[in-house]
Amino acid sequence: LPDEDQLADLYEAATDLLLGEGYEQYELSNWARPGHESRHNRTYWTDGEYLGIGAGAHGYLAGERYENLAHPSEYIERLSGPVLEASGAVASRYSPDPATSMSDWLGLRLRLIEGFLPEAFESRFGKTVFECVGPVLEDCASAGVLEVGPRIRLTRRGRLLHGEVAARLLAHINRSQSNTSGVS
């Protein structure tokens, strides 16, 4: 496989080629002609609910994440009983803790080229994004990988570093929660 620098160069070249052909990048790894963006995937990136149907599928309903049994024959066998027992095809389920919810929300919203409005974060979590991760936002903005203004979003350079930005946000949230138990 190419090394990280080669992958970054290929990503940049693909972005330029697709933009030149009339495609718009709307998510880190997705481009489309205007009006043809994936509504399905947008649900994942915007904290929407979705059903996981099928062996190994994942779902998110009423604040709970779940994963179905992975092996198709076992999944089918578990579904062959009464409808009320269909939940027996679920291998695992959990409700994300507040820090995980916050981290997931930020990491997924930053995948969108449009980023997010700070008010959307506050509406979801009852605290401002600056209260929760302000120092990380400032550091990333100073490094030129994040725009902090009416919208918070990765810069073109920052798109190559999404994983690192998301990891820093998670680490800050976890540190803040363990130090103050203030993330709720």
Tell me how far apart the alpha carbons of residues 49 and 36 are, in angstroms, rounded to a whole number. 21
Give percent above pLDDT 70 in the chain. 93
Bridge partners, 31 (sequence order): 25
- Taking a C-beta distance cutoff of 8 angstroms, is the pair 99, 173 a contact? yes
pTM of the shown model: 0.85
b/e per residue 63-77 (b: at least 16 CB within 10 A) = eebbebbeeeeebee
Look up residue 111 and give its amino acid. R
Tokens of 89: 């095809």
Tell me how far apart the alpha carbons of residues 47 and 105 are, in angstroms, rounded to a whole number. 7
Tell me how far apart the alpha carbons of residues 165 and 154 are, in angstroms, rounded to a whole number. 9
- Confidence class for position 43, pLDDT limits 50, 70, 90: very high
Between 81 and 160, residue with greater pLDDT:
160
Classify residue 40 by burial, with Cβ atoms within 10 Å: 0-12, 13-18, 19+: exposed
| pLDDT (tens digit per residue) in 83-109 | 555 568 999 999 999 999 999 999 999
Pairing of strands 24-27, 30-32: antiparallel
pLDDT higher than threshold 70 for residue 79: yes
Tell me how far apart the alpha carbons of residues 159 and 154 are, in angstroms, rounded to a whole number. 6
pLDDT at residue number 85: 52
- Confidence class for position 81, pLDDT limits 50, 70, 90: low
